[in-house]
């Protein structure tokens, strides 16, 4: 598992609609969809994904009411979540963990920020205190379960993120783009139904 684990989880079962939304959001950001073979592959080491003109995604099938978008770019994914939420007019949860240092989330609905939290406030702009009552309106877990999670800490950031994801009923939350792209299917549901997307900056 890589150091930075993150994905945008969208409350829908419609994988096709999510694929269309990713394409539309990326087009507005100046990216065109390309075939995988059109990406640079000249044997040189891969670029830092946060500086590359190429952007790769993996999109899961619908699973337990959620479709997950895994972005190779672990910086710009923070801006992707509310844009996809607005495009699809549905809740979107960005859930991330950086090794044993920090974890957090950002919950949007129809592009509007509902709640966000980070154990390290340097990762987000604005307030970072969780609101269990707001979370419980979108999750299978109760406000009391969320409250206990934040009060107890639940050990490591990845462990906390795991419990948090379970309270939302989200699967595959502990996966990251690189592991999935390498075919690592340990604990991953439906990997053969994931769709690879590649975009090139104009």
pLDDT in tens, 114-168: 999 998 888 888 778 899 999 999 999 999 999 999 988 655 787 889 999 999 9
Of 14-23, 61-70, 176-185, which range is least confident?
176-185
Q: Which residues have CB under 8 Å from 175's CB, separation 6+?
A: 5, 7, 70, 184, 187, 188
pLDDT in tens, 54-105: 999 999 999 999 999 999 998 899 999 999 999 999 999 999 998 888 899 9
CB atoms within 10 A of CB 144: 11
Strand, coil or helix: 55 = strand
Residue 152's domain comprises 4-201
Query: What is the rounded distance in angstroms from the CA atom of residue 32 to the CA atom of residue 19?
Result: 13
Joined tokens for residue 189: 């549901």
Report residue 47's pLDDT band, with 50, 70 and 90 as the boundaries: low
| Helix ranges, the chain (H) | 15-28, 77-88, 132-136, 143-152, 157-168, 177-181
41 pLDDT above the threshold of 60: no
pLDDT of residue 44: 52
Q: Pick 41 or 27 by higher pLDDT.
A: 27
38 pLDDT above the threshold of 50: no
pLDDT of residue 90: 98
Number of compact structural domains in the chain: 1
2 pLDDT above the threshold of 90: no
This prediction has a pTM of: 0.90
- The Cα-based distances of 58 to 148, 149, 180, 181 in angstroms read 33, 29, 8, 8
Query: What is the rounded distance in angstroms from the CA atom of residue 136 to the CA atom of residue 150?
Result: 13
Query: What is the rounded distance in angstroms from the CA atom of residue 118 to the CA atom of residue 39?
Result: 34
């Amino acid at each position: 598992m890589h150091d930075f684990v993150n994905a945008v989880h969208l409350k829908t079962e419609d994988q096709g609609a999510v694929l269309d939304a990713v394409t539309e959001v990326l087009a507005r950001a100046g990216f065109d969809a390309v075939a995988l073979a059109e990406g640079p592959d000249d044997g040189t080491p891969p670029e830092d994904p946060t500086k590359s003109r190429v952007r790769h995604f993996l999109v899961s099938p619908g699973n337990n009411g959620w479709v997950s978008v895994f972005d190779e770019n672990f910086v710009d994914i923070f801006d992707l979540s509310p844009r996809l939420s607005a495009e699809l007019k549905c809740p979107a949860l960005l859930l991330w963990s950086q090794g044993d240092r920090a974890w957090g989330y950002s919950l949007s609905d129809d592009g509007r920020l509902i709640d966000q939290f980070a154990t390290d406030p340097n990762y987000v702009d604005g307030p970072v205190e969780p609101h269990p009552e707001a979370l419980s309106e979108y999750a299978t877990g109760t406000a009391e379960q969320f409250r206990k999670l934040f009060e107890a800490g639940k050990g490591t950031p990845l462990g906390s993120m795991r419990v948090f994801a379970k309270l939302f009923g989200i699967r595959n939350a502990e996966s990251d783009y690189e592991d999935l792209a390498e075919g690592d299917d340990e604990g991953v549901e439906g990997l053969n139904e994931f769709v690879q997307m590649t975009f090139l900056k104009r």
